[in-house]
């Protein structure tokens, strides 16, 4: 942006003083302290994941993602405490890889010859997954946590005023953090995704038994189309994911991205190999082999203590129904076998509803510096939220479960 923010400044909240500092790379902070402050098993909040994005060059100024991670310290007289909170933060030169779409906002700015970029973004790059956007030493419901969100809100908004960012955006927050940040009177945005919930199913057939007869038959027919081809499916985890397997996965990933989008994807092989080395305990790689034992497709999952996340997939050949099998049904079977509670198979896709995935709310907060645009965007987000709620109710009525209270 030409005029980078100061490395640090102080903010007073409730007679307490906090020092806010920004760093240009996550490598400038301690891995142990970052993970300690994030305090959950979500793989995408972990230092290792964010560091791999930066070290591989997938996230950098050249790709439109300039790291500007926020650190917060408490000031006690002449003493400055250790870091008490962290936030993954980026200067964005575009809106790609975010999945909470603001292209219409950017277009409106452009039509009025007002720059929308750069903007500030608190999110996980290329990863539309709900997770903590502020990791801290405080409990989520404590008074200290409330004060901390005031600090964050003031710090982000100060950057708009002092350094010319058009706006800041905090995406895919858990409801508790969304509620805390919303108390600062910023703009709130509601979206929806589709997640599968494990109701203590004993196996896949037990899950099918919870569905209506017609939907149960549809899924069985869909899986039979794939099984007739003679493909085999194998989950490989942890250190068993070798460099050779990453190369096979990446070839599948690039092939499918090129067919779908005309480019080879946001992520490179160096990124995948990096997380394979540093985050192996949370990685699950699905290999799909043909009758000759050749790998013809692959899907990459991540896991936490409670969730399975379907993130990337690709295939070298077209097989009818393979995407649903590799990205949905195999994931459901994995959740059941490993007693995971929730399967998040990725953003969008209401076709998931007929396969047992339920609409859930996702939450984002925003602040816009330009007064007139802010008013217009606020009206838009309020109407959008009403439409999203109606849309979710309509989809819930289409859920394939025998008992719609599921």
For 346-377, the pLDDT digits (tens) are 988 899 999 999 999 999 999 999 999 999 99
Quick one: pLDDT at residue 404? 61
Quick one: pLDDT at residue 141? 65
CATH fit for domain 199-340, picks 3.40.630.30, 3.30.479.10, 1.10.760.10, 3.40.50.2000: 3.40.630.30
Quick one: pLDDT at residue 7? 74
Quick one: pLDDT at residue 144? 86
Hey, which bits of 24-78 come out as E strands?
Answer: 65-67, 69-76
The span from the CA of 160 to the CA of 369, in Å, is 6
Quick one: pLDDT at residue 5? 60
**H or E, element range at 84:** strand 79-87
What are the residue ranges in the chain where pLDDT is below 50?
1-2, 406
Dihedral angle over CA of 103, 105, 109, 115, nearest 10 = -70
Segment 1-42, tens digit of pLDDT: 445 566 789 999 988 999 999 999 999 999 999 999 998 899
The span from the CA of 328 to the CA of 398, in Å, is 18
Quick one: pLDDT at residue 153? 97
The span from the CA of 335 to the CA of 333, in Å, is 5
Could you give the residue range(s) of every CATH 3.40.630.30 domain in the chain? 8-194+360-396, 199-340
- CATH fold, domain 8-194+360-396, is Aminopeptidase (3.40.630)
pLDDT over 90, % of the chain: 89
Quick one: pLDDT at residue 1? 46
Place of tokens 């979206």: 191
For residues 268 and 62, the answer to whether their CB atoms sit within 8 Å is no
DSSP letter for 386, please. Answer: H
How many Å separate Cα 5 from the centre of its chain?
A: 26
Question: Residue 54, class by beta-carbon neighbours within 10 Å (0-12 exposed, 13-18 middle, 19+ buried)?
Answer: buried
**H or E, element range at 147:** helix 143-163
Place of tokens 């192996």: 280
Quick one: pLDDT at residue 164? 93
pTM of the model: 0.95
């Amino acid at each position: 942006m030409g005029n980078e923010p100061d490395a640090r400044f102080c903010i007073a909240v409730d007679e307490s003083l906090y020092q806010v500092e920004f760093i240009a790379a996550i490598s400038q902070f301690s891995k142990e302290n970052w993970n300690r402050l994030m305090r959950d098993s979500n793989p995408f909040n972990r230092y290792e994941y964010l560091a791999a994005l930066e070290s591989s060059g997938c996230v950098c100024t050249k790709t439109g993602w300039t790291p500007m991670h926020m650190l917060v310290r408490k000031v006690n007289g002449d003493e400055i405490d250790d870091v008490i909170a962290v936030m993954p933060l980026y200067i964005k030169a575009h809106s790609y890889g975010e999945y909470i779409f603001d292209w219409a906002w950017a277009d409106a700015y452009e039509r009025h010859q007002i720059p929308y970029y750069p903007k500030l973004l608190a999110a996980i790059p290329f990863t539309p997954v709900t997770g903590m956007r502020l990791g801290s030493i405080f409990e989520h419901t404590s008074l200290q946590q409330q004060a901390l969100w005031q600090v964050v809100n003031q710090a982000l908004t100060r950057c708009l005023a002092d350094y010319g960012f058009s706006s800041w955006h905090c995406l895919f927050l858990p409801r508790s953090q969304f509620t805390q940040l919303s108390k600062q009177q910023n703009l709130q945005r509601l979206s929806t995704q589709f997640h599968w919930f494990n109701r203590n199913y004993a196996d896949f057939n037990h899950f099918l038994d919870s569905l209506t007869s017609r939907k149960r038959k549809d899924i069985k027919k869909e899986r039979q189309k794939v099984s007739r081809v003679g493909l085999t499916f194998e989950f490989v985890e942890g250190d068993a994911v070798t460099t050779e397997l990453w190369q096979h996965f990446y070839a599948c990933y690039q092939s499918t991205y090129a067919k779908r989008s005309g480019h080879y994807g946001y992520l490179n092989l160096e990124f995948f190999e990096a997380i394979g080395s540093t985050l192996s305990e949370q990685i699950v790689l699905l290999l799909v082999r043909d009758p000759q034992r050749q790998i013809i497709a692959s899907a990459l999952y991540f896991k936490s203590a409670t969730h399975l996340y379907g993130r990337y997939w690709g295939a070298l050949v077209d097989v009818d129904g393979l995407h649903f099998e590799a990205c949905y049904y195999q994931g459901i079977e994995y959740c059941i076998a490993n007693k995971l509670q929730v399967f998040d198979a990725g953003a969008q896709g209401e076709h998931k509803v007929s396969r047992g995935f339920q609409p859930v709310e996702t939450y984002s907060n925003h602040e816009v510096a330009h007064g007139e645009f802010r008013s217009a965007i606020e009206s838009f987000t309020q109407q959008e939220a009403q439409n999203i709620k109606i849309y979710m109710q309509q989809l819930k009525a289409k859920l394939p479960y025998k008992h719609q209270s599921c």
